[in-house]
Structure 1
Amino acid sequence: MTVIRTHEPTSQLYRGAVSMSINLALQTGTQKYPAKHNCRLVASLLPRHSSALIYLPSAVSRNYENSDQTRPFRQRRDFQYLTGCSLPDCSVAYDVQTDLLTLFIPPLNPKTVLWSGLPMSPEEAKKKYDVDRVLTTFDELEFLDSWRREEWRCNATIYSWPNVLPFENVDTTCLPAAVGACRVIKTPQEIALIRKANEVTTAAHIKILKNLPWATNEADLEGVYIAECIKNFAKNQAYEPIVGCGTNAAILHYTKNDTPIDKSNLLLVDAGAEWEGYAADVTRTFPISGHWTKEQKQIHDIVEKMQEECIKRCVPGTDFRGLYDLAHKIGTEGLIELGILKGDLETVLRLGTSKAFFPHGLGHMVGLDVHDVDSASLKARNLTGASAISKHLPVKRCESGIEAPRRINRVAPRGLEPGMVVTIEPGIYFQRFIIEPYLKSPVHGEVIDKEVLEKFWAVGGVRIEDDILITREGNENLTTTPKGEEMLKIIREAWKVKEKEDKEMAEREAERHF
């Protein structure tokens, strides 16, 4: 990480902590995570479920290879959905017939207490989690064997994944599909957790804006962001932060975050915190100086319009893939108006040339995973001009669609529904590696004005992303991170503070040498 060279210590990068107006409470509420509700919902989708048992192990703690150091732990998302429990080396059993939910946690190991402290006790776990009882994993096999020996359960099915049980009638296919289907629609408690993740994320994004003038490298700003999340008790990130300056902003999943910052460039920040397992996914693109160049503003205005028009149409029943077509149309119209693309809208869309500048989908589900279950059904398949692209490019390219997940895929035919949380994240990029094959194509090359394009390479890329909750009445934007003039005002105020500090420092230096 680059050293921050100012007349004050590196705590400059944490300015605004006292005046931060966003109030981040430690707790999201007094209600327990609705594990029992989730188990019942999943059970209702399983065949032969009346006398079945749902059994699922958690993720296990592991060390690095040839090391006694533990890897960072991440809970199995399906297990977390059924329990709300983020502890390693556990398991859960839900008896559908008796509606009994049992959580198994590791027993006390005296050898580890010295190093790690006392673990959560069964009594503490029972109080924290929405389960009927808590046993240790020593009791697990006895419980399962006893359950199987009951005469009326001789042909009962155990739904599990993967199969680690020494029993017959274990179904490993239906459970992940059923859990995936249920995770698509969020409960009020899940929405509250996503909202809290967005609050922490907003605080951290604002801290970046306030510290732009003191940063000399992308790494400085990533450090500011991570520190603010940790300060607000969100140690885990939903994904690796993307902090890309200038042309790095054209790299969709750029995570090196180690390039010196140029005040004249744009900065793209795509970063989201995790709160109790639930993700936020937020992107902002802004001029580091607080003032747009002509070309930067032209591209940002197009992307802003793409996002605003799509968010307006995020209502129950909307085909998400149709929103992609709308975003692509608006973006293409904008590029034609700027002269980057030539010809009429219908022709350019038919050829698919504009996909060189908007090469990804419009969004995905958000929840326990940042790209949550059933996100594949939101991706546009057979997009406008997709077949035309492969005909005319000199290098064979991948189709735009992605492989469907193993989970139940229900979203595409029924459209958006209340309780879904999706991202809307259009973007326009100027990445040479992607665009140059189009320029060399005898078909696409005729549609792109190379002379006009030359003015925009330095823009790099612009993406704007918010997390949108679908409601019965329409939608709610869960992301409160500043954008537009509000965002620019924060940056400009920070530069004023920096300029004042620099002036005062210069005056002190002059007095010292006088």
Structure 2
Amino acid sequence: MIMTEFQQRRAAFFSKMQNNSLAIFPAGQEQIRSKDTEYPFRQNSDFYYLTGFNEQDAYLLIINKSGEQQSILFNRKKDKNAEIWHGLRTGQDAAVSKLGFDSAYDVLEFEEQLPGLIAELPVLYYPVFNAPELERSLSSVINLMRADRSKGQVAPAQFIDSLPIVHEMRLIKSESEIELMSDAAEISAAGHIRAMQLCHSGMWEYQLEAEIRYEFAQQGAPNVAYNSIVAGGQNACILHYTDNNRQLRDGDLVLIDAGAEYKGYAGDITRTFPINGVFSEHQAKLYQLVLDIQVSAINQINPGVALADINKNVVKKLVDGLLELGILEGDSEQLIKDQAYKAFYMHGIGHYLGLDVHDVGLYGTAENPRLLEAGMVITIEPGLYISEDADVDDVWKGIGIRIEDDVLVTQSGAEVLSADVPKSINEIEALMANVSVYG
């Protein structure tokens, strides 16, 4: 039998388990929005990575018993009445025949069956401090087993956090994941292009956001990867601005940080452009500085390079640029040492991207930063934020700029997955001058 990619991932996790051990992974749970309404369900990323199963209230068990692998799913049983009200369920038979689990049981039997499954397996893997409901079940079951040894059941005595193992697996993307992330980036790009073409003064930020989400849905991605930022003028200096409730003004820039979620994978693109379609002289100077820095950072990407080192080069270029424009004064090296740039650039150069927009994986330490590897997907997103109360000439105040792309680390460098969105001044202005609606 040819294993699916999800089965291969379970087998890969199994290969990292100690002999005679069991791992438990919980699915996501329904979250109440208010009273009897719920937020749209979104599966737990680790659970989805190992199962491809997109229903709530489930558990995956991977068992290593004397070197033999077994994968068990506990999920909701078929229920005609419940399915009339809330939608179809996979049930147990299809979980085995279609999803490749060795066996499947009703999730309501989970605590009842757990003692028999973990007995005589001294090691238990689970997401420590990350799954409260599961931890309550484990605490109840294991303490009962410890208290009643007359049944001959010995509870696990060693507990290992499963998250570092799964997160290392998720960090390097497979070929199929890269294809999905390319699709997510292309759909995200289409949304940004639509926003550029439809933007005009007098629009409300939420109206522009609606155009982006419309394009995502039209392209096959009904969900966003995170709450979109549509920030006109001074709002762009608020890094995680999501109110999106102000009117766009002629002469201001608008910063849009938005990404589609496609089949579980996140796009994450930021573009900044003039609401009226034309950069002013001072906007263009700041924008070109950020763009030059971003392009330079992407060109530095290679296996064996640390993001932290790229960020150091970004800071040097930013400080030199701000000195040239007269926004900073003094000695470049001393300004960097004093972190004077943090008044205008407060975040890092990028982050991992995958099933989560800020995807999992270790970055290392300041003394020993992690090096990039082929198959990682990262963002490169330098920014420059000059608030209204900054101690600078008035011509620079209230301008926030960020340019962000999704980048695959390859064996020989980098591939920009989100390259469809224009980002040079000439390209943006030309696109915005075209009055035709993006189709």
Give the TM-score range, shorter chain: 0.7 to 0.9
Q: Distance in 1 between matches of 2:350 and 2:4?
A: 27
1:23-62 aligned at under 5 Å gives the runs 34-46=5-17, 49-62=18-31
Letter in 2 for 1:355: K
User: TM (normalized to structure 2)?
Assistant: 0.86
1:220 corresponds to 2:207: yes
Q: Aligned with 1:119: secondary structure?
A: coil
Q: Aligned with 1:255: secondary structure?
A: coil
Instruction: Please report how far the alpha carbon of residue 143 of structure 1 lies from its aligned counterpart in structure 2 after TM superposition.
Output: 5.2
* Map of 2:122 onto structure 1: 156
CA contact (8 A) 1:215 1:221 kept: no
* Map of 1:475 onto structure 2: 414
Q: 1:135-158: per-residue Cα shift (whole Å, max 9, x none)?
A: 432554565444345xxxx24322
CA contact (8 A) 2:21 2:121 kept: no
Instruction: Please report how far the alpha carbon of residue 280 of structure 1 lies from its aligned counterpart in structure 2 after TM superposition.
Output: 1.1
Q: Distance in 2 between matches of 1:222 and 1:272?
A: 11
CA contact (8 A) 2:13 2:165 kept: yes
Instruction: Please report how far the alpha carbon of residue 351 of structure 1 lies from its aligned counterpart in structure 2 after TM superposition.
Output: 2.5
- 2:107 pairs with one of 129, 137, 148: 137
CA contact (8 A) 2:305 2:371 kept: yes
1:422 corresponds to 2:375: no
1:322 corresponds to 2:309: yes
Q: 1:158-183: per-residue Cα shift (whole Å, max 9, x none)?
A: 21234323132165542122112222
* 104-113 or 208-217, larger mean C-alpha shift: 208-217
CA contact (8 A) 1:159 1:170 kept: no
CA contact (8 A) 1:83 1:130 kept: no
Letter in 2 for 1:324: N
Instruction: Please report how far the alpha carbon of residue 253 of structure 1 lies from its aligned counterpart in structure 2 after TM superposition.
Output: 0.7
Q: Distance in 2 between matches of 1:101 and 1:429?
A: 50
- 2:290 pairs with one of 295, 303, 318: 303
Letter in 1 for 2:59: S
Instruction: Please report how far the alpha carbon of residue 38 of structure 1 lies from its aligned counterpart in structure 2 after TM superposition.
Output: 2.0
* Map of 1:23 onto structure 2: none
Q: Higher relative contact order at CA 8 Å, sep ≥6: structure 1 or structure 2? A: 1
* Map of 1:183 onto structure 2: 170
- 1:491 pairs with one of 406, 422, 432: 432
Letter in 2 for 1:119: R
Return closer, same or farther for 1:171/1:466 CA change in 2, 3 Å cut-off.
Answer: farther
CA contact (8 A) 1:272 1:280 kept: yes
Q: Aligned with 1:100: secondary structure?
A: strand
CA contact (8 A) 1:91 1:103 kept: yes
* Map of 2:361 onto structure 1: 374
Instruction: Please report how far the alpha carbon of residue 342 of structure 1 lies from its aligned counterpart in structure 2 after TM superposition.
Output: 1.7
Q: 1:89-128: per-residue Cα shift (whole Å, max 9, x none)?
A: 1111112332222222201223322212332244544465
Instruction: Please report how far the alpha carbon of residue 41 of structure 1 lies from its aligned counterpart in structure 2 after TM superposition.
Output: 2.7
Q: Aligned with 1:99: secondary structure?
A: strand
Letter in 2 for 1:38: R
CA contact (8 A) 1:34 1:130 kept: no
CA contact (8 A) 1:32 1:129 kept: no
CA contact (8 A) 1:57 1:90 kept: yes
1:221-236 aligned at under 5 Å gives the runs 221-236=208-223
Q: 1:340-395: per-residue Cα shift (whole Å, max 9, x none)?
A: 112232232222212211111111111121111136x27x859xxxxxxxxxxxxx
Work out the number of aligned pairs and report it: 411
CA contact (8 A) 2:234 2:388 kept: no
CA contact (8 A) 1:266 1:285 kept: yes
Cα RMSD of the aligned pairs, angstroms, is: 2.5
Return closer, same or farther for 1:351/1:90 CA change in 2, 3 Å cut-off.
Answer: same
CA contact (8 A) 1:123 1:134 kept: yes
Q: Distance in 2 between matches of 1:222 and 1:33?
A: 37
* Map of 2:405 onto structure 1: 466
Letter in 1 for 2:350: G
1:69 corresponds to 2:37: yes
Q: Distance in 1 between matches of 2:5 and 2:26?
A: 19
The gaps in structure 1 that reach 5 residues or longer are: 1-30, 383-411, 440-449, 499-514
- 1:362 pairs with one of 349, 374, 379: 349
* Map of 2:145 onto structure 1: none
1:210 corresponds to 2:197: yes
1:58-457 aligned at under 5 Å gives the runs 58-64=27-33, 67-96=35-64, 97-126=67-96, 129=99, 131-138=101-108, 140-141=110-111, 144-148=114-118, 154-161=120-127, 162=131, 163=135, 164-165=137-138, 166-167=141-142, 168-169=155-156, 171-213=158-200, 216-374=203-361, 377=363, 412-432=368-388, 435=390, 439=391, 450=392, 453-457=393-397
CA contact (8 A) 1:239 1:370 kept: yes
Q: Distance in 2 between matches of 1:128 and 1:224?
A: 37
Instruction: Please report how far the alpha carbon of residue 134 of structure 1 lies from its aligned counterpart in structure 2 after TM superposition.
Output: 3.9
Moved over 6 A (4+): none
Letter in 2 for 1:158: L
* 340-349 or 33-42, larger mean C-alpha shift: 33-42
Return closer, same or farther for 1:341/1:285 CA change in 2, 3 Å cut-off.
Answer: same
Q: 1:449-501: per-residue Cα shift (whole Å, max 9, x none)?
A: x4xx321114x11100011111111121111322223333221102xx59xxx
Q: Distance in 2 between matches of 1:205 and 1:32?
A: 38
Return closer, same or farther for 1:244/1:413 CA change in 2, 3 Å cut-off.
Answer: closer
Instruction: Please report how far the alpha carbon of residue 238 of structure 1 lies from its aligned counterpart in structure 2 after TM superposition.
Output: 1.3
The gaps in structure 2 that reach 5 residues or longer are: 143-154
Q: Distance in 2 between matches of 1:273 and 1:33?
A: 25
CA contact (8 A) 1:34 1:84 kept: no
Q: Distance in 1 between matches of 2:261 and 2:45?
A: 13
CA contact (8 A) 1:42 1:179 kept: yes
